[in-house]
Structure 1
Amino acid sequence: MVTRRRFLQGMAAATAVGQLGSLSAMAAGVKHGLESPATGGGTAPAGILQYVDVFVGTGGHGHTYPGATRPFGMVQLSPDTYNAQWDGSSGYHQGDGSIMGFSHTHLSGTGAADMLDFLVMPSMGAVLLQPGDRDYDGVNYVSRFDAKKPGGEKAPKGYKTGVKGYRSHYTGEQAHPGYYRVKLTKHDILAELTATLRAGIHRYTFSKAGDSHILLDLAHGYSDSPKENCRVTDGEIRVVGNDTLVGGRRVWQWASGRVIYFAMKLSRPASSVTLYADDKALPAGTADAKGNNLKAALHLDKANSEPLLVKVGISGVDIEGAMRNLDSEIPAWDFDGVRAAAEAEWTQELSKIQVDSDSDKIKRTFYSSLYHTMLAPTVFSDSDGRYRGMDKAVHTLPEGRHNYSTYSLWDTYRAAHPLYTLYQPDRVPDLVDGIVRLAVESPSGAPVWPLQGIETVCMIGYHSAVVVAEAQAKGFTGIDYQKGWPVFRRRAMQDDYFGLTYYRAKGYIPSDKEGEAVSKTLEYAYDDWAVASMAEHLGHADEAKALRARSQNYRNVFDKDTQFMRPKGDDGQWLQPFDPIAIGHSDKWRDFTESNAWQATFLNQHDVYNYMDLFGGVQGFEAKLDGLFNADSTIPDNAPPDIAGMVGQCAFGNEPCHHMPYLYAYTGSHHKTAARVRQMLETMYLPEPDGLPGNEDCGQMSAWYVMSAMGLYAVDPVSTNYVFGSPILERAQVQVGGGKVLTVETKGNGHGKPYIQSVTWNGQPWTKSWISHKDLNAGGTLVFTMGEQPNEAFGKAPEDRPPSFGAQAKA
């Protein structure tokens, strides 16, 4: 198991690698279908899928789920092992020993929780209505996992604590992209799951004779306490014939007040259906129930030994939309056909980046990471183009377009969205025009963290502006930038939004007036930079000039005496006491967002050269950057748990630090960037359940690895440039759209050889430590020659350093 202690210390890469998720220990050559469930057979994904470990991040604090979905899919059909406590944010955690059931929506790697809609659980005997505690066996409807290997070998003692590889080696739980299976031991039921874009299909094989049923739980969801249901109102279940249920609910969780509907069909008729309200059975024959705590039991013919199939479609619009999604996407009872299509789609999408490496571990880490970048954002529109907007009204899209949800923008603007502009260019117009549409429809304006038609207002800043500005600067069409401009201008210039009034009036946000004020000041400065870029492209020169100037407001929370960003009071005085590792100047106040003064001091992404002047020049800035990585890794007792992955005071397990290793390129010391990036690549990521340094955060944690493994990172996405790091792959071929291919190669690479000696671009010498998106998007070949010793001359000349604030480094 990858221990959290090793992450915190940032030590050398681990050498032990499990087989989890790759299923390489299974019989080779099985592409579709299963061996007989009775013999405990498994699946072996072919081709590129064998390198994806869907269990990465399901341990530790990764908060991922292992179930079946499609790329950017609206349905995430996955097991729920627990629905309370922070590490249950995705509904699943590697350390749990039982399964509550299988629900149809999940969040990938978030630090906040919601979803887990429409839990389905196969069972036998009397209907039990409570899931029970995750470690309590034999009373309620939870079930243990199969604790035996297919060949019959028993798991070692302690298997369920998350030890490396035990999930695939020693249990009946197996999965790969688009498919999941598990043996539920309580009643000896084999459960299999696969999905389309908007629907899921279950296959349950009952090995024992006797009364059986399918339980549908509409009260299930994420809850603050394991003894409470999630907060649901307006629930409805309606029985249609003897094989169909439809309904919906409103959920008051993180995305408070979101609505979601379902349509569920069985492959054979139920002998009877019992509806429950507040855990009391309604009279026999009741076909409709409304309330806040609804469940249904569909009783099955005990004489039938054929597997039962269950199809479920979902919709954010209405029941009819859920039924239409179901019927259009899974018209037949063909589980293996749906699974084969899911595997084919994942193969196609993952193959957009083809990589070579002598290390199986690196290939599995890379493709597991690439897989995670396609679990969000998620489609949130029906097959007929209807969707529920941020204004709660139902809208219809133009033909061929999709509406998206699950935008973790505070995280994903940094690497995930820049990555999409490279390998998902055809999807970018829908993703970004969707953000514009959300902005126009939302009563709260510029999107921050929208989830299923609800603005969660989670995290600080309004980094939807960055994603829109980046796409605009990179020349993407099919996005109505003009339509979005008034919304983003209003946020920057007028909205009274979480300290922006102070920010505009004083040039900073007082830390005795507004929480997390230092971080908010710095992130609003970067949003100013993004909105200035929008203004420039749309011909609003005066606003662009004013916003560019205001984007230097970071100066107003920088203390030249201590050389730290630090909290300042309303009276303009620095607040005391000050400790650079503290998250607040007192127990009452939190001055930084998931960070402290050390990390906040390097949040500047867009104006690095002018910022260096505040440290006395390049050497002073570089010395301070050295101090960040070499400082003691102490974390305050009151720090949030997602401050992790410590290398000195660089908390790499949290997104604000992701660009910081690349800042050495701006000082001309690219070899230090290379050393730190390679350290992160080798020590922070492994293809194991606890293989991430922090929350996955809807693809951002993994996108950093994907980009950095190819030697590229967008420190300032709006600039449209990528800074070189330390590529760890031998070769990567990226389909950049229009039939063009970007090839990245390394020569002389390997462990202990992190330093760039030289670079060529399309066969010509390239002395810069960066390259533009325009160059890469045209296709071509980028070759890095690597070595054991630093080439301190590479990228050292001012003209070879990355531009910042639209200018080159000062001579």
Structure 2
Amino acid sequence: MVDPFIGTGGHGHTYPGASVPFGMVQVSPDTDNTRWDSVSGYHIDDPTMLGFSHTHLSGTGVGDMLDVLLRPGQGRVTLDPGSLMHPQGSYRARFRHEDEQAEPGYYRVRWPDEGIVSELTATGRAGMQRYHFERDGEAFVLLDFTHGIRTDNNRPTRVHDASLCWSGALLSGSRMVSEWASGREICFALEFSPAPHHVAFFVDDQPAADGTTTVSGTSLKAVCHFGRARDIITRTGISSVDVNGAKHNLATEITDWDFDGVRARARAEWESYLQRIGISGATSHQHRIMRTAMYHTLLGPTRINDCDGRYRGLDRQVHTLPPGRKDAYSTYSIWDTYRAEHPLLTLLCPERVPDIVQSLVEMMKQSGGQVPVWPLQDVDTQCMTGYHAASVVSEAANKGFGGIEYAAAWRAIRRRAFASTDGGMGEYRHRGWIPADRVGESTSRTVEYSFDDWAAAQLATRNGARADARTLLARCHSYRNLYDSHTGFIRPRLASGRWAEPFSANEMGHSGQWRDYTESNPWQATLLAQHDVYGMMDMMGGEGKFLSFLDGIFAANPALPPDAPPDISGQMGQYAHGNEPSHHIAYLYAYAGRPWQTQDRVRMIQTQLYAPRPDGMAGNEDVGQMSAWFILSALGFYPVDPTTGIYVFGSPLFTYMHLQTTGPRALVIEAPEASDTRRFIRGVSWNGQPWTKSWISHQQLANGGVLHFDMADEPDYTFGKEHKDRPPSLGRT
């Protein structure tokens, strides 16, 4: 039921190729490497294909990777990749979607003009490709080591210190790439069956001398000639450490030339994870969306250590995993994923959580106490705002996960909270807010720092730093300093203390240099203090005004200004599900005693903003966040404040769900009357006992049990209405 093509259209930014859960390798077709909608290397609208590279990002808003591109061919060799607009004379191949097939761990395509069938599969650290040439002719495989994402379409991919070597039957190489993750290193080791009878190297598209076995430079390519072969198989190991690591990964994970066997093992590994949630009572469309969402959430974070435990850290040095640790991870889109992806993993893959969180702590230690923001391989791109790794660490601590150096994490997070001046933090500490005429995205930064202070305060308390905890708890209300009671919105202030004028509720900013909001506007930013919902109510003047604001965001004119980023999409009024600042908003009604409105809004989002087609995502997948929202909401709950381990009830989508846990029994979620019309909760029981609260704790769910929902087609205005039954927030109800 998994469809890897979901998200490859619109602004989903996913890829359809082969990987395994949390794999280092993602071998997938590349149709373009120059524009925003092809940052994964692939877009469903593209008519031509460059070839198949071994590393890809799933659903990100910025591109990178696309390492080690292989392009099978016959006859005349062309080194020019051309472009989407001008493919003539290049090595691009036309393809048709009816000739594509994709499933977890496998991809296949046929190029009709050349009669070449290519198949892809993968292990955790190696990729395998199989080519069949339908016609007789001289076969070759082109390795384009210049290929990669081009964040500036006017210049080639920035490659440094590249080298290629042909030794015996092995083609290997390494390069440094300075695109988004500037300076990241990648190495590979590649074998063929049959072995090529000749390998020709090219430097700056000029042929190297005959007999050359090693080349270096910034623009390298190799053409492997096979004579009149009809079938060629490649197997490629990847490493961010060195070529020996890539060789070892390849020798360890792919020991023969059995492509179908590797494909079967990848399929079995996917099945073992996809079976962790069983569902029934779903339509075929819902089933496909749910299974594909699970697939997408399991693509990241990605492992970065070699089979021998070595990996390259943020200090660019090679480290070895200590005894007891299985994997090191990277590819953390934390600004997005702290909200639902990381909470989902604590339920779905709890055995991986200690290593995933400890990897963040190791990054803090390797970078001199810096808190990682968006780490990719051995580089922290520092993309996005806030220091939300504090949320991921605090969540793990509050949920009782061991094997994590919480004291070391607190030292780095304390430095960020109390000493750093990056991203306006100095202004924030001094004023309690960030001036819009001094720091970009000042309004969102202020609110996000308030949330991070709350997450940090919990770690401070855990580590016995009571004075720091008190300071942070006071500071976590700082978002209120940007609330304008006259307009009813959080809005930018200038260093003088005056409000930035003029004001519009859908504005992006006042400066030609930067925006005031991070991929959002005043509507979403005003509700961004997800840790202090009752404080937001007080700020707005009470429960009634808070509810009016919630109703208003869904009813507002959806118009956006011309400078709005394309990430703000999937709109219902000014609620924008295509970007993460909106993801918790529908669940806020429960805090005001109206969980029935949460149930109604959540079901609308589930059914209207997710679809089983390439453009079936409302916005960027963002390394699992968009899908994690759907999965948790389909289960019937969502973590508005992920640090607390509290899940707010929404509207369970299926009649029966079964989730494996590490507790003494499985978690069973029953909603036998759930349907398109029966979206409202009439009553809840937990392990057979009545449950009147509109929320439940992580510990209860993780221990297993039976959560039963009675569903109805009309709201029950009494369920969850009493103050004692509303979700806690910042320690109060």
**Fold conserved between structures, TM > 0.5:** yes
Residue 663 of structure 2 contacts residue 703 of structure 2 at CA under 8 Å; is this kept in 1?
Answer: no
Question: 2:26: which partner in 1?
Answer: 76
Question: 1:277: which partner in 2?
Answer: 203
CA distance in 1, matches of 2:368, 2:216: 30
Q: CA deviation at 1:588?
A: 4.2
Alignment counterpart, residue 505 of structure 1, candidates 430, 451, 458: 430
Range 508-517 or range 609-618, more displaced = 609-618
CA distance in 1, matches of 2:153, 2:83: 7
CA distance in 2, matches of 1:606, 1:372: 27
Q: CA deviation at 1:586?
A: 4.3
CA distance in 2, matches of 1:587, 1:269: 57
CA distance in 1, matches of 2:66, 2:194: 26
Q: CA deviation at 1:137?
A: 5.0
| Mapped pair 1:395 → 2:316 | no
Alignment counterpart, residue 221 of structure 2, candidates 292, 295, 302: 295
| Mapped pair 1:247 → 2:173 | yes
Residue 57 of structure 1 contacts residue 63 of structure 1 at CA under 8 Å; is this kept in 2?
Answer: yes
Residue 63 of structure 2 contacts residue 151 of structure 2 at CA under 8 Å; is this kept in 1?
Answer: no
Q: Is the partner of 1:76 in helix, strand or coil? A: coil
Cα distance change on mapping 1:657 and 1:273 into 2, 3 Å: same
Question: 1:354: which partner in 2?
Answer: 278
Cα distance change on mapping 1:444 and 1:638 into 2, 3 Å: farther
Question: 1:765: which partner in 2?
Answer: 690
CA distance in 1, matches of 2:152, 2:534: 49
Q: Is the partner of 2:402 in helix, strand or coil? A: coil
Counterparts of 1:70-149 in structure 2 under 5 Å?
A: 70-134=20-84, 136-137=86-87, 139-145=89-95, 147=96
Q: In the alignment, residue 482 of structure 1 is paired with which amino acid?
A: A
Question: 1:575: which partner in 2?
Answer: 500
CA distance in 1, matches of 2:638, 2:668: 16
CA distance in 1, matches of 2:540, 2:409: 38
Alignment counterpart, residue 182 of structure 2, candidates 211, 232, 256: 256
Residue 587 of structure 2 contacts residue 640 of structure 2 at CA under 8 Å; is this kept in 1?
Answer: yes
CA distance in 1, matches of 2:369, 2:90: 43
Counterparts of 1:220-239 in structure 2 under 5 Å?
A: 220-226=147-153, 228-239=155-166
Kindly provide the CA deviation profile for residues 580-632 of structure 1, in whole angstroms up to 9, marking residues without a partner as x: 11111344441100011111001011111122112211111111111111111
Residue 232 of structure 1 contacts residue 249 of structure 1 at CA under 8 Å; is this kept in 2?
Answer: yes
CA distance in 2, matches of 1:86, 1:219: 19
| Mapped pair 1:317 → 2:267 | no
Q: In the alignment, residue 648 of structure 1 is paired with which amino acid?
A: G
| Mapped pair 1:207 → 2:131 | no
Cα distance change on mapping 1:502 and 1:138 into 2, 3 Å: closer
Q: In the alignment, residue 622 of structure 1 is paired with which amino acid?
A: L
Residue 82 of structure 1 contacts residue 93 of structure 1 at CA under 8 Å; is this kept in 2?
Answer: yes
Residue 237 of structure 1 contacts residue 245 of structure 1 at CA under 8 Å; is this kept in 2?
Answer: yes
CA distance in 2, matches of 1:628, 1:587: 27
Residue 82 of structure 2 contacts residue 88 of structure 2 at CA under 8 Å; is this kept in 1?
Answer: no
Residue 527 of structure 2 contacts residue 536 of structure 2 at CA under 8 Å; is this kept in 1?
Answer: no
CA distance in 1, matches of 2:217, 2:720: 65
CA distance in 1, matches of 2:707, 2:67: 45
Q: Is the partner of 2:666 in helix, strand or coil? A: strand
Alignment counterpart, residue 657 of structure 2, candidates 720, 727, 732: 732
Q: Is the partner of 1:575 in helix, strand or coil? A: coil
Kindly provide the CA deviation profile for residues 357-414 of structure 1, in whole angstroms up to 9, marking residues without a partner as x: 2411111100000100011110001000000000000000024421101000000000
Q: TM-score, normalised by structure 2?
A: 0.99
Q: In the alignment, residue 666 of structure 1 is paired with which amino acid?
A: Y
CA distance in 1, matches of 2:518, 2:607: 27
| Mapped pair 1:679 → 2:594 | no
Residue 577 of structure 1 contacts residue 586 of structure 1 at CA under 8 Å; is this kept in 2?
Answer: no
CA distance in 2, matches of 1:228, 1:72: 32
CA distance in 2, matches of 1:361, 1:347: 19
The aligned length equals 732
CA distance in 2, matches of 1:554, 1:563: 13
Q: Is the partner of 1:337 in helix, strand or coil? A: helix
Counterparts of 1:299-698 in structure 2 under 5 Å?
A: 299-302=225-228, 304-305=229-230, 307-399=231-323, 400-443=325-368, 445-698=370-623
Query: Runs of 5+ in structure 1 lacking a partner?
Result: 1-50, 148-166
Residue 324 of structure 1 contacts residue 383 of structure 1 at CA under 8 Å; is this kept in 2?
Answer: yes
Q: CA deviation at 1:542?
A: 1.4
Kindly provide the CA deviation profile for residues 252-298 of structure 1, in whole angstroms up to 9, marking residues without a partner as x: 10000000000000011211000000000101110000000000000
Residue 664 of structure 1 contacts residue 673 of structure 1 at CA under 8 Å; is this kept in 2?
Answer: yes
Q: Is the partner of 2:660 in helix, strand or coil? A: strand
CA distance in 1, matches of 2:149, 2:369: 25
CA distance in 1, matches of 2:686, 2:164: 61
Q: CA deviation at 1:684?
A: 0.4
Question: 1:155: which partner in 2?
Answer: none
Range 375-384 or range 580-589, more displaced = 580-589
CA distance in 2, matches of 1:288, 1:738: 55
Cα distance change on mapping 1:130 and 1:739 into 2, 3 Å: farther
CA distance in 1, matches of 2:541, 2:149: 51
Query: Runs of 5+ in structure 2 lacking a partner?
Result: none
Cα distance change on mapping 1:458 and 1:97 into 2, 3 Å: same
Residue 133 of structure 1 contacts residue 226 of structure 1 at CA under 8 Å; is this kept in 2?
Answer: no
CA distance in 2, matches of 1:749, 1:83: 44
| Mapped pair 1:190 → 2:83 | no
Q: In the alignment, residue 49 of structure 2 is paired with which amino acid?
A: I
CA distance in 1, matches of 2:196, 2:555: 65
Range 216-225 or range 192-201, more displaced = 216-225
Residue 564 of structure 1 contacts residue 598 of structure 1 at CA under 8 Å; is this kept in 2?
Answer: yes
Question: 1:23: which partner in 2?
Answer: none
Question: 2:626: which partner in 1?
Answer: 701
CA distance in 2, matches of 1:596, 1:73: 36
Deviating beyond 6 angstroms after TM superposition, the runs of 4 or more aligned structure 1 residues are none
Range 740-749 or range 686-695, more displaced = 740-749
CA distance in 1, matches of 2:310, 2:490: 47
CA distance in 1, matches of 2:164, 2:489: 57
Aligned-residue CA RMSD (Å): 1.1
Q: Is the partner of 1:215 in helix, strand or coil? A: strand
Kindly provide the CA deviation profile for residues 8-62 of structure 1, in whole angstroms up to 9, marking residues without a partner as x: xxxxxxxxxxxxxxxxxxxxxxxxxxxxxxxxxxxxxxxxxxx100000000000
**Sequence identity percentage:** 50
Residue 664 of structure 2 contacts residue 703 of structure 2 at CA under 8 Å; is this kept in 1?
Answer: no
CA distance in 2, matches of 1:384, 1:558: 53
Q: In the alignment, residue 390 of structure 1 is paired with which amino acid?
A: L
CA distance in 2, matches of 1:224, 1:538: 42
Q: TM-score, normalised by structure 1?
A: 0.89
CA distance in 2, matches of 1:613, 1:479: 37
Residue 82 of structure 1 contacts residue 99 of structure 1 at CA under 8 Å; is this kept in 2?
Answer: yes
CA distance in 2, matches of 1:343, 1:603: 40
Counterparts of 1:165-184 in structure 2 under 5 Å?
A: 167=97, 171-184=98-111
Kindly provide the CA deviation profile for residues 536-556 of structure 1, in whole angstroms up to 9, marking residues without a partner as x: 112211111110110000110
Q: Is the partner of 1:438 in helix, strand or coil? A: helix
CA distance in 1, matches of 2:665, 2:318: 38
| Mapped pair 1:753 → 2:678 | yes
